[in-house]
A = this chain, B = another copy of it.
């Protein structure tokens, strides 16, 4: 049996970059990380740790040291919390480790969506050493990515992608070009 609600759940998750200015209850954050730890990983190594960040000073520091696709939000629409995803390289090196941490990030985005929260995956960290020092991250762990979290204050809309696939804003609305099955899927073999 197909579960169309679950398909909708996956399809309707969007990256959110504008948030309401209010804190996230701790039980929501707790459920997000609890679910996310069921993400698949190469050889079941689970080569990751998560730091949950909520205090205003630390959130401000992350806000100031990250790059955002399609523009950083104004500070009054900044995220209310961040999850730092750390990669234990020695446990699962090279691309399988990257792929595993990416699966964890994907699970975090979806678990946030299950909490009706908005989230975006941030890979561009402008001053990694500063954050590593501030959060006391041990040297055997790599700061892989950061997931920003908050109550969504925008509703990005998927549109068909053509030559250009860059998200764009028009009258305050964010549009996100997405390729279709016709564009991206082959059957039996490449032809």
Shortest distance in angstroms between A173's beta carbon and chain B's nearest beta carbon? Answer: 16
Contact partner, A98, options B5, B69, B95, B189, Cβ 8 Å: B95
Contact A158-B44, Cβ < 8 Å, known A7-B111, A185-B33: no
Tally chain A residues at the interface, Cβ within 8 Å. Answer: 82
Shortest distance in angstroms between A93's beta carbon and chain B's nearest beta carbon? Answer: 13
Top 3 nearest A-B pairs by Cβ distance? Answer: A102-B102, A6-B114, A99-B102
- Give me the interface of A with B, judged by CB distance under 8 Å: 1-7, 9-11, 13, 15, 28, 30-31, 33-35, 37-40, 42-46, 48-55, 58, 69, 95-96, 98-103, 105-107, 109-111, 113-116, 121, 123, 134-138, 145, 158, 161, 165-167, 176-181, 184-191
